[in-house]
Structure 1
Amino acid sequence: MIKQGLLGEFLHEAENTRKILKAIPNSALDWRPSEKNWTTAQLASHIAEVYNWYDATFNMDVFNMGAYQYDKGDISNIDHIVAKFEENVTKAQQVLENSDESTYFNEWKMEMDGNILFPPMPRIQVVRGFLYNHLYHHRGELVVYLRATGNKVPGLYGPTADDNM
């Protein structure tokens, strides 16, 4: 029952993520709001990469970020970033569909080189916070990046100022 709720949200939000990634023009990929921020390409790549974390979140009790190999792929073109997103979202959907609901309340934590990054908590809390809400946060940043570079923002939860009503 919980899995069906997670899967429904996953599918709906993956489509929203797809819309926003496809709205990025190549001309905006190198833009960043400040030196502290990622470029648009780096942020978009990170959004695509979050979907690659599903296996470690659903199928391991400890996610060792120190051993994780980040594969951002070629971020010089939005089509490459979208392709990486499509690859990762397909794998993530399979992981979610094959997940065992009986493990959703098992303790999960994230470590890096022996240091705890995420304290132990129920896996379902990690799925909602680390996978889902984390992604929504970065998509919100990407909306700001699109606006700041004069680009249109697609409607995710209804029309935007760019939509003709």
Structure 2
Amino acid sequence: MGITKSFLLELAHEVNSTKKIIACVPNDKWGWKPHVKSMSLGDLSKHIVELTVWTENILTKDFLDFQVDYKPLQAVTTEDLLVLLDKYEKVVISALNVFDEEKWMSDWKLKSGDHIIVEMPKVAANRFIVNNHIYHHRGQLSVYLRLLDIAIPGMYGPSADDAK
């Protein structure tokens, strides 16, 4: 199996998991934070969703420049996020379906103006900057929801809330 096919399989499973947990975010708690240094529930949810489409940037460009290319996600409800997640999933699938497998080892940069934050092969950027980053923040989101006494959906099998 090639790298592209493995990312397509992973995307199908993981976007479903992301949809399940994002759907649990209550609109009336978007500003809630578990700690003053934490992101708000809404900002964390938006960050998880926006990271999904970064795969398309990695596949089609050689860098993402925060000063030029980054625009904060404009969403104000959980429903907005779910619509965007569906859209981003389609964009990423389309980009993966036409991506040249040989280019996975070409470099991609995350930068801010002239400052290079990180530079690595596209395959590593997609794994570490997108996928692992999403999984990390989904775990964080599950803790936020638990602290708000909101049931957590199972993502890799049943959760304690799914057990009966």
State TM-score, norm by structure 2. Answer: 0.93
**Aligned residues between the structures:** 163
Aligned-pair identity in percent equals: 29
Q: SS of the residue aligned with 2:120?
A: strand
**Does the 8 A contact of 1:73 with 1:84 survive in 2?**
no
1: distance between equivalents of 2:80 and 2:133?
Answer: 22
Which range moves more in the overlay, 92-101 or 13-22? Answer: 92-101
Aligned to 1:26: 27
1:11-160 equivalences under 5 Å are 11-75=12-76, 77-118=77-118, 120-160=119-159
1: distance between equivalents of 2:113 and 2:88?
Answer: 25
2: distance between equivalents of 1:71 and 1:116?
Answer: 20
Q: Which amino acid aligns with 1:149?
A: L
Displacement of 1:71: 4.0
2: distance between equivalents of 1:116 and 1:96?
Answer: 25
1:52-111 CA-to-partner distances (Å, cap 9, x unmatched) read: 212221122222222123241232x21112222222222122112221111001122221
1: distance between equivalents of 2:64 and 2:85?
Answer: 21
Displacement of 1:164: 3.0
Aligned to 1:163: 162
CA RMSD, 1 decimal: 1.4
Which range moves more in the overlay, 91-100 or 65-74? Answer: 65-74
Consecutive unaligned residues in structure 1, runs of 5 or more? none
Displacement of 1:136: 0.4
**Does the 8 A contact of 2:59 with 2:122 survive in 1?**
yes
2: distance between equivalents of 1:126 and 1:156?
Answer: 24
Moved over 3 A (4+): none
State TM-score, norm by structure 1. Answer: 0.92
1: distance between equivalents of 2:153 and 2:135?
Answer: 15
